[in-house]
Every structure is written in C-alpha cells, then in structure tokens.
Amino acid sequence: MEFTAKQIAEFLGGMVEGNPSVSVKNVCKIEEGEQNALSFLANPKYAPYLYTTKASIVIINEDFKLENPVSATLIRVKDAYSAFASLLELYNQYRFSRTGVSSLAFVNDNAKIGEDCYLGEYSVIDKGAVIGQDTRIYPQVYVGENVKIGNNVTIYAGAKIYHDVVIGNNCIIHSGVVIGADGFGFAPLNDGTFKKIPQTGNVIIEDDVEIGANACVDRSTMGSTVIHKGAKIDNLCQIAHNVTVGSNTVMSAQTGLAGSTQLGSNCFVGGQVGFAGHITIGDRVQIGAQSGVMSNVKDDSKVFGSPAINPKDFMRSYALFKKLPEMEKRLRELESKLQGQNGQ
C-alpha cells in the first residue's frame, strides 16, 4: 500500500510542510532513511539525522524548529511518537489482514468459527471450540477442546492453546506460546518418588492482553489462572498455576511467577525477575530487573535485588558489598599485626 503525505497528514490531523503528493510504501528509522519510506523524529538526540536522512516523509513535533534545510517532506503533529505508532498500527492492519479458511486447516464439526476469520495451513480447531469474529489463527496453531476465543484476536504460528482456555477480545498471542499446560504440581511420596497432582482448572485471558513468543501460562490446579485486561507479557515468561496478573501490568522477558502468586494492577516488572509462590504483590509496584521477590510487597512500592528490597537500601548495601574484598584484606592485615604484637 502507498500513502501520500497529504493522506497521512489528514489521518493524523497534521500539517504538511513540503510536497503533499510525495508517497511512501515502507517505514524506516530516521538514521537509516531510504526513499519511498516514512520515518519520525521524537527524540532530540536524533535531530541531526533529519537534515541527512533519505526518507521521503518524516513526522515531527509541531513546535520543532529547523536549523537547516531538509530534503524530506515534513508532517507536523502534536506528538510525533504517538502519531507514528498510530500509523504503524494502520500499516500492520493492511499488512496482516487475512481472511478465509485454508483447505489444509482442520475444523471439528462441533467447533464454531465467526465471520471474517482466518485459519492458516495445518491449524487445528478441536471439538467444542468457539472462535469469534475477525480472528486470525496462523499456520500450525492448535486450539483445544472447548476453548473460547473472542473477536479480533491474533494467534501467530505454532502457538498451542490447551482445552478449556478462555481468551478475550483484541488479544495477541505470539509464536510458540503455550497456554493451559499443566501446572507444576507433584506430591512427594515416602519412597522418594513424586505423584502427579491433576491440574483440573483452566486459564482465563481477558481483553487486550498481549503475550510474547515462547511464553507459558499454566492451567490452575483448581479454579483459574487469570491474566487480567490489558496486561502485556514479554517473550519467554513463565506464569505458573493459579497465578493472577493484574490489569495493565507489564512484564519483561524471562520473568517467572511461581504458583499462586498474586501480582497487582499497573505494575512494571523488569527482565528475569523471579517470584516465590503464594505471595501477594500490590498495585503500581515497580520491580527492577533480576530481582528475587520472596515476600509480599505493598502498593506503590519500588523494590530491587535478591531478596528484593527498597532500591536505596539495596544500593547502600551493594556499596558495602563491593568493598568486602578490600575490607577482608584490611582485616587480615589487622589480625596479623595484632598477633605480632601479642607475640612480643
């Protein structure tokens, strides 16, 4: 699809500065600009590239003052970053717009498929599954028995949705995600072996949730593992059985939540954070990368480290920790001197 500067400006409610007829059919970084491509400038750090970029159209803030001539056509808007994000969303809608059921897809006779859906090659929709309207299911996706999927959901290639899972509207599930596998439940026996505890619950994913590639959300032992509305989960995260993730919480890659952890709403979780099981994290909590959260955390807290504590306390502790080798050396020297004096 090609769009002119005039069309883009009308869509964004912006003002064209330059040739309104110039068109673009791709997007690019401003520092890697190329002809027939659209870029944007929001961070002042990249301002010098505006005067050298080869991009045909650049979106900038309406109050940006030019210091030199530019060759690109400019579109001035109130917020260049959010405007460009809106365009990328529109671009993706065109790029990934697909409908129709492949002849190589399998749909059980008892499954229900909504209007304008897309089912890719070798996707499987099992007995009793219900798929909402405008949902896109890419090749080699498995949708298990009695799964309920809402409207305008995208499930990318290779994702596996086990039985009885419920997924709301406007969700995005990336490749390799597994939703509804058994929780990690085993009872130790007297002979040192383990007996598997049946995981009889399910997983509920509410509206507007995005789950990154190769993440896993386990079904509950009883009841439901729940990801609430608007949560965003990065690649390679592990959500264990009976966990609750609050609405609009953001979780970075390689984070793991042990069973029955309750994570509040509007939290920010850095990468590689580990949560102990059966703890409660409040709302609006910020957790630094690689932290180990082993106990309850109150609303509006900031924690860091392992075990996770207040960031200021952690940095003071770390300042001492770094000096331990030097302190040990000085202690040994002092001990040696004292021994020498005692020997005299």
Whole-number pLDDT of residue 344 = 55
Whole-number pLDDT of residue 180: 98
**Least confident residue range of 28-32, 191-195, 283-287, 324-328:** 324-328
Same domain, 64 and 106: no
The answer to whether residues 114 and 255 belong to one domain is yes
Q: How many structural domains are present in the chain?
A: 3
CATH number at residue 290: 2.160.10.10
| 42-86 confidence digits (pLDDT tens) | 999 999 999 999 999 999 999 999 999 999 999 999 999 999 999
Tell whether pTM > 0.75: yes
28 and 138 within one domain: no
Q: Which of 70, 95, 120 is the last residue of a domain?
A: 95
- Identify the helix (H) or strand (E) that includes residue 329: helix 324-343
Please give the share of the chain, as a percent, with pLDDT higher than 70.
99
CATH code of residue 73:
3.40.1390.10
For residue 256, what are the β-bridge partners? 238, 274
Last residue of some domain: 95, 129, 159?
95
- Do 158 and 241 lie in one domain? The reply is yes
Question: For residue 195, what pLDDT is reported?
Answer: 97
Mean of pLDDT values over 312-340: 84
**Which residues, other chains included, contact 186 with Cβ-Cβ below 8 Å and sequence gap of 6+?**
194, 195, 196, 197
DSSP bridge pairs for 217: 179, 239
Q: Looking up tokens 């769009």, which residue turns up?
A: 3
Structure tokens at 286: 């910020």
Residues 301 and 285 in one domain: yes
Do 218 and 323 lie in one domain? The reply is no
Q: Are 173 and 156 in contact (CB under 8 A)?
A: yes
Last residue of a domain, one of 95, 118, 147: 95
Which residues, listed in sequence order, are joined to residue 101 by a DSSP beta bridge? 119
On whether both 153 and 302 belong to a single domain, the answer is yes
Q: Which residues have C-beta within 8 Å of that of residue 124, sequence separation ≥ 6?
A: 105, 106, 141, 142, 143
Side-chain half-sphere of 159: how many Cα atoms within 13 Å?
Answer: 27
Give the range among 30-44, 88-102, 282-296 with minimum mean pLDDT. Answer: 88-102
% of the chain with per-residue pLDDT over 90: 83
Spatial separation of the C-alpha atoms in residues 6 and 17, rounded to whole Å = 10
pLDDT digits (tens, 9 = 90+) for 76-130: 999 999 999 998 888 777 776 778 999 999 999 999 999 999 999 999 999 999 9
11: closest CA among 118, 106, 83?
83
The b-or-e profile of 170-200 (16+ CB within 10 A means b, else e) is bbbbbbbbbbbebbbbeeeeeeeeeeeeebe
Same-domain status, 285 and 153: yes
Residues 205 and 334 in one domain: no
Check whether residue 188 and residue 208 sit in a common domain: yes
DSSP 76: E
Which structural domain, as residue segments, surrounds residue 34? 3-95
The whole-number average pLDDT for the span 196-210 is: 97
Residue 327: pLDDT band by 50, 70, 90 thresholds?
confident
pLDDT in tens, 156-174: 999 999 999 999 999 999 9
pLDDT at 343 over 70: no
Which positions are annotated as active-site residues?
A: 241
DSSP readout, 235-260? TT-EE-TT-EE-TT-EE-TT-EE-TT
Q: Look at residue 1 and tell me whether its pLDDT is greater than 80.
A: no
Do 77 and 107 fall into the same domain?
Answer: no
Same domain? 145 vs 189 = yes
- Res. 10: pLDDT tops 90: yes
Of 37-41, 135-139, 325-329, the one with minimum mean pLDDT is 325-329
Average pLDDT, the chain: 94
